[in-house]
Structure 1
Amino acid sequence: MKYGIAFKLGCLLALFGILVTGLTGYYSYSSSRSMLLKAVERDLLTAAQVLGRNLSSSIENISRDARLLADVASTRELQMVIDQGERVHAENDIATLFRSLLLVHPEYVQIRLISTAGHGLEQVRVDRDGEQLVQVDSSNLQEKGHYSYVFDTLRLPPGEVRLSPIVLNHEQGAHSGVGKPTLHVSTPVADRKGQVFALIVINIDLDQLFKQLQSDLPEQYQVYLANRWGDLLIHPDQQRTFGFDQGRRQFIQDEFPEVAQLLLNEKRASLVSRSVDKERNGNLVAAFVRLDINPKTAERFVLLGLGQPQKLVLEEASRLGQRIAQIVLLFSLLALTIAFIASRALTRPLKSMTEAVQLFSRERRIHELPPRRDELGVLARSFREMQEEILTHLEELTESRSALEHLARHDPLTGLPNRRVFFERLEHALANSRRSGKQLAVLFVDLDHFKQLNDNLGHSLGDHVLQAVANLLRSATRESDTVARLGGDEFVILFEVVEDPQHIVAILEKLHDRFQLSMLIDGHEVKVQASMGVSLFPRDGDDIEALVQQADRAMYAAKNAGRNTYAFNLSDTPS
């Protein structure tokens, strides 16, 4: 060995001055780049907040228009007009007012007066059809009572305004509104006695509304809009919007992961994020704000964002970086020429070892290094031995930990979550239900005469019966429900979100029907039946102990009623 590591290290130290020059230049470039990015982030966030305020203001103006139209329709009291001529005259006056608003507001594509009678029959309707405004004649008016923007609005008191979820308009005969991103703004119309007899509905073309709001923004700004789940409603690539309408949901948080914080954290109002989809969009920097435009409904907020390509932001920094690179290159050229052979001999093996370390750290895979006979070769061989030993220990630890974790949280016979996991999930579900105000249910299942079956047919077959019951319970419930075994022949099911208690009744009936069928187990036809009891939050209790106790009592009520049935609690009559 002619040259050792000490000589190579000496050559590296000789290049120290060059490295200082390069690092100084790089620091200057990085600092200017970072400062520029921060400034652009602040500008984007400010612009997004201003755009959000403008959007909220526009929606408030639309709501005022809807209230104004409702007041006009209320004064006409069409439901009291018997004379057909007077009714036509009044409807034409209202249609004229609709036309005036459509002329003033290009973002309005349709305004309707819908009656509560005739299954929500349209009384007056004016549509935008290209450049023309069309008043739909009475023979083409449609019943709209089955649409949520009708029946939900009719539940509101006069003066309240409902904003619908933003969807693609698929209503037949909507002229220019068909296939457009649409927001329905609706409000009830009441007579002098306060009785609601109709509603006003204004259809908003969201694309046109945002074109107006974007008119003062720089051309390079890209607008994003998403609903409370993150579904893309407005996006530079229109093919990615309204995926839920086509069975292929696409989310804003997939492109900007940090946006998930705005969806989940109600205290967070804004943030700046960068895109991860570089192949499709390039590097993007974007600012997002959360707009609480409809706080009284499930669609209580939307996410509004403005993005800008990072390459446009960094053009000035790139020019500065080029000048810095020229200076560094000028001062480093002579030194690099002298030290080329030494630096190359030193950096090549170090680079290989660095890549091997990174590969091992990232993928836990050992990278073969070229054989060497110097100190670096000894280090490489020692490092490989260490990697092999670490991998062996990691595999043993992973296997042991996985086995212990599964054993601690699952029933070894049925594979279901055990008592501990069930109570953890019930506690978490209770916390969510208290916040959301929604119901949850606990179903207690106890097999009838299982001890006799176990004694008569043997414990082995009894174990197979428990496994079959576990599969039966899993197959009759949803993926979001938790089926667990508490011990013996006792099972329990947690329904985290109960929109309607009748859904639980349907599940109970389905389970009851399946327990009436015989099971073929190890060549034996076995009939297994069960008694079931249900408790509901908050009706039967507001804590874990109360809910489980009520479900248990309901199950015993079912047993006392003759077994092979179910009950909700001790006050209910078994079904």
Structure 2
Amino acid sequence: MARMEQNQRLQFLSDACAKALVKPLWDCDDTAAQAIMNSMLHAKDISGIRLHNACTGSTLTSGVFLDGDTPPHVRQLVYDDGTEHDFNVGTLEIDFTPVSIIQSATDSLRAYLFITTTMALCLTVVALLTFRRLISRPLEAFQQLIDKRDISRNNPVFAAEISINHRNDELSGVIKAYDELMETVARQQAELEQQARIDPLTGLGNRLKLAECLDAALDRAKRYGGEGYVVLIDLDDFKPINDTLGHAAGDFVLQVTARRLLSQVRSHDTVIRLGGDEFVLLIEANALPRDVNTKIERIRALVEEPLAYEGKSVTVKASVGVSAFSGNEKGDELLTRADQLMYADKCARKAGRD
């Protein structure tokens, strides 16, 4: 059972890492990809990550690859553009720590039980009764604890309803250690799931977080009425900043832009970094259209305000696309519509028709 839990956790880690890296690879953003890889190393099960970016041709590495018997886990990363076209954007290799803490504790317990069982065969009837009282009952309690933990592992608060004699022996200590270990694993998994939904550069939610928030917003709009908005913002003239001042300057612009966007939304609205230099505002369905138009123009003006980086004035422009929703739409369709309107806005501004 411990091996099964470990395999499920490793599969979860692999899926989370792959989903988080697909969009940065599609955007040819090595900086964001490297930051995500570094954050994934917080999981104790991962010792090294290697990524080949098909767009830039670069190979990124984080952590170390152990020279063990188990080869690294390799998977191809594929980007779905929403039009039933898939693109191979890179190759991901993950080297997992070969032996988990859970498996090590289980193997030690099995060895201990084998020794005590062999000794029990040589005992007298009195010794067998003592064995039953001192060893078998705690062992049975330990098995019940494992069974209950498997049934209740989705419950954040686990309390074993088992009566165990309060004795300071090794098996009682193992039972307590097992319970504490399971709580630690559950807590780390919850933290990892949260990290997989956060953009490490700006602290905003990422594409995974957007999908969850958008589904919830559509449900609320359908239930309570009103009109909400998906606002897609793309930073124009951002690439020259990276090319002339370096990626550190580009990261600074993205972080400042994130703070500016957060300052302009309500507590129940959501700001997302979609990837690269694209951001999404998810405005809940309780605002009038004219209020939204005023808000968007105010946000555009704020994003385009010059900012100082190492004594130099840096400026970007913002192209914006807005799609409205009432709860009957699909999230992918809303994003596609906003992207089309954002591109039209970009073309119009470049042509001087804004």
Task: Say which one has the larger Rg.
Answer: 1
What is the TM-score with the length of structure 1 in the denominator?
0.31
